[in-house]
Chain A
Amino acid sequence: MTQIKKFLPYFIAILAAFLAAGIFIAALGFNPFKAYETIFSTSFRTPNGFIQTLIKWVPLTLLALAFTVPLSSGKFNIGAEGQMIVGGIGSAAVGIIFADLPPALLIPLIILAGILAGSLWGLISAWLLYQFNINEILTTVLLNFVSFSLIDYVCTGPWRDPAAGHPTTIPIGENGFLPMLIDQPPLNIGVLLALVATVGVYLYTNKTTAGYELVVTGANPRASKVHGINIRQMFLFSMVIGAALAGLSGAIEVSGTHNRLIEGMHSNFPTLGLIIGLIARGKNQAVPFVAFFIAILEVGASAMQRTLLIPVQVVLIMEALILIFILLSDLIRRRQK
Chain B
Amino acid sequence: MSGIEVFLTDFLKLTFLSMVPFILAAQGTMLGGRTGVFNVAQEGIMLTGASVGFLVGYLSGNVLFGVICAMLVGGLFGLILAYFTTTLKMDQFVVGLALFFMGLGLSSLLPKIALGVTLTPPLIPTLPDISIPLLSKIPFIGPILFNQNILVYISVILSVALWYTLFRTNLGLRLRSVGENPKTADSLGISVNQYRYLTSIIGGMLIGLAGAYLPMVYTGTFTDLMVKGRGWIAIALTFFGGWSPIPIMFGALFFAGVEVLSFRMQVGGGIFPYQFLIMLPYIATIIVMVFTFGKAKVPGFLGQNYDRERRSL
Contact = CB atoms under 8 A, between A and B. Distances in A.
Interface of A: 28, 76, 78, 128, 132-135, 137-139, 141-146, 148-150, 152-153, 156-157, 271, 274-275, 278, 311, 313-314, 316-317, 319-320, 323-324, 327-328, 330-331
Given A142-B229, A316-B101, A317-B105, A331 B279 contact: no
B63 to A, nearest CB: 25
Contacts of B236: 138, 142
A57 B88 CA distance: 33
B278 interface: yes
B101 A320 contact: yes
Contact of A327 (B98, B282, B289, B293): B98
Contacts of A156: 275
19 contacts: A76-B97, A135-B239, A135-B293, A137-B40, A138-B236, A142-B232, A145-B282, A146-B283, A148-B278, A150-B275, A152-B275, A271-B104, A274-B97, A313-B105, A317-B102, A317-B105, A320-B105, A327-B94, A331-B90
Interface stretch (B107-115, B153-161, B203-211): B107-115
A145 B229 contact: yes
B232 A320 contact: no
A200 B285 CA distance: 36
What are the 9 A-B residue pairs with the smallest beta carbon separation, nearest first? Answer: A316-B105, A313-B109, A153-B275, A149-B275, A142-B282, A149-B278, A145-B282, A145-B229, A141-B232
Contact of B289 (A134, A146, A323): A134
Contacts of A271: 101, 104
Contacts of A145: 228-229, 279, 282
Given A145-B229, A153-B275, A278 B109 contact: no
Given A133-B294, A138-B289, 5 more contacts: A139-B286, A143-B286, A144-B229, A271-B104, A319-B101
Given A132-B294, A138-B236, A274 B94 contact: no
Contact of B93 (A76, A134, A144, A314): A76
A278 B293 contact: no
A187 to B, nearest CB: 29
B189 interface: no
Contacts of A331: 88, 90
A133 B293 contact: yes
Contacts of B273: 153, 157
A201 B229 CA distance: 31
A152 B275 CA distance: 7
A70 to B, nearest CB: 12
Interface string B40-77: 10010000000000000000000000000000000000
Interface in B269-294: 273, 275-276, 278-279, 282-283, 285-286, 289-290, 293-294
B229 A132 contact: no
A323 B106 CA distance: 15
B14 interface: no
A148 B106 CA distance: 23
Nearest to A144: B229
Contacts of A153: 273, 275-276
Given A76-B93, A278-B98, A317-B109, A134 B232 contact: no
A139 B289 contact: yes
A143 B93 contact: no
B215 to A, nearest CB: 19
Contacts of A132: 289-290, 293-294
Nearest to A78: B97
A323 B101 contact: yes
Looking at A146, A148, A317, the one whose CB has the most chain B CB atoms below 10 A away is: A146
A295 to B, nearest CB: 17
A314 B109 contact: yes
Nearest to B117: A311
Interface in B222-276: 228-229, 232-233, 235-236, 239, 273, 275-276
Contacts of A323: 98, 101
B275 A128 contact: no
Contacts of B185: none
B95 interface: yes
Contacts of A142: 229, 232-233, 236, 282-283, 285-286
A51 B83 CA distance: 42
B94 A278 contact: yes
Given A138-B236, A323-B98, A313 B112 contact: yes
A153 B94 CA distance: 34
Given A128-B290, A320-B98, A138 B109 contact: no
Interface string B77-94: 000000010001010011
A317 B107 CA distance: 11
Interface string B285-306: 1100110011000000000000
Contacts of B105: 313, 316-317, 320
B102 A128 contact: no
B106 A317 contact: yes
Contacts of B84: 327
Contacts of A138: 232, 235-236, 285, 289
Nearest to A314: B109
B286 A128 contact: yes
B95 A327 contact: yes
Interface string B96-136: 01100110111011001100000000000000000000000
A328 B83 CA distance: 12
Contacts of A157: 273
Nearest to A142: B282
A134 B113 contact: no
Nearest to A311: B112
Nearest to B285: A142
